[in-house]
Amino acid sequence: MTQLILADGTAFEGTSFGAPVDADGPSTPACRTGREFGTGEVVFNTGMAGYPESMTDPSYHGQILVFTYPLIGNYGVPSEELNEHGFSKYLESENIHVRAIVCAQVSETYSHHAAVQSLQEWMTKHGIPGLTGVDTRMLTKKLREHGVMLGALVQDSGIRTEEIGKEKTRVPSPESRVPDIEDPNTRNLVAEVSCKDVIIYDAPPAPDQLTVIAYDCGMKRNILRSFLKRGVRVVRVPWDFDLDAYDGHYDGVFISNGPGDPKTCVPTIKAVACAIENNVPTFGICLGNQLMALAVGGDTYKLKYGHRGCNQPCVECAPHTSKRGERCIITSQNHGFAVDETLPKGWSVWFRNANDGTVEGIRHESGRFFSVQFHPEATPGPEDANGLFDAFLGIMRHKN
């Protein structure tokens, strides 16, 4: 018997699939952190599709991912081949970053023209355990009501389950021991997923070609694709890259998504502040939104259960105010931290979440510096906000 045990002792029974729960995890050096796989922060994703992209999203590094959609794996997994630039052609990174996944039902078969292997085969290959047959509705409700919490997949834990009312609620017996679980947010997760060296991606030459310094804090590969297909030359740099010491040409600075607490990324925060001080057009996505807020004197905080899914509505605020406007877009999101309302003079809230009113984007009155909490590059999810890349390019060209 395999169980997901939460930090409060609550246990959810299921059937294991993929790699054994005591597997060593991915064999690639980039993912060797010396931590036990099958343990982490338990979070839920409400997307109906996109499990390969979610599992390879570096923002999920250190987390156990619960899929609320009842059936996972029915369209298999695409090829892991690299494109002409040397990064994943179809996925959001070259590794699986989740510590484990939990679902209600995993498909035994798959069917899709681009699939080359099953979800189970892929997870086994990368040493990632999974748990199926779980009441994910109950698990999600618990995380929503009590907040995300640490958890672990274990076999034969000794934690008994009890029937309470009509539903099977899992509670620990008095003598049961909850395993010790390290909180991944106490580490600098960005340092674990960022590239280690500068990597340059050349787009086809053009007379007015732009160059962007892209801070890799755990960057999804579709962000790179989004820049390259627009003819932008990308200089991908590590999270702690010293922008002030760089003497190469660039037209703008981009700060990517990534995992964990933004306040651990002090060098990146300093780099963003440097770019803004030098009046360099700057654009941030997800973690990049939080880092930009911190760089200009704002603050961030941890959400109760975060926003993770492909159906988050965001309302655009009126220019130079923080009041909701009339335009609403549906966005893809994956974050557990958010930007606080308090912003310095000259800055305003750009987008708000239509569900809970939290800040989903900020911008400066000059129009040269802006960031969003959601993912305009999607994968998975809607492309309502994809035009933000074009807006950033327009600002860089206008500056030139």
d(CA 291, CA 257): 10
Burial class (CB in 10 A: 0-12, 13-18, 19+), 249: exposed
* Residue appearing with tokens 């704002």: 298
Taking alpha carbons only, the member of 229, 201, 213, 225 closest to residue 379 is 225
Catalytic pick among 36, 192, 360, 377: 377
| Secondary structure (DSSP) of 259-310 | SS-GGG-HHHHHHHHHHHHTT--EEEETHHHHHHHHHTT--EEEEEEEEEEE
d(CA 373, CA 388): 12
The question of whether 335 is a catalytic residue gets the answer: no
Looking at the DSSP bridge assignments, the partners of residue 317 are 324
How many CA atoms are closer than 13 Å to the CA of 173, on its beta-carbon side? Answer: 8
d(CA 68, CA 91): 21
Catalytic pick among 286, 310, 314, 317: 286
Taking alpha carbons only, the member of 183, 219, 181, 176 closest to residue 201 is 219
d(CA 234, CA 250): 9
Element (H, E) at 143: helix 136-146
The question of whether 377 is a catalytic residue gets the answer: yes
Element (H, E) at 63: strand 63-67
Looking at the DSSP bridge assignments, the partners of residue 237 are 215
Taking alpha carbons only, the member of 377, 375, 304 closest to residue 337 is 304
Omega before 380 within 30 of 0, i.e. cis: yes
The question of whether 286 is a catalytic residue gets the answer: yes
Burial class (CB in 10 A: 0-12, 13-18, 19+), 176: middle
Q: What are the residue numbers of the active site?
A: 286, 375, 377
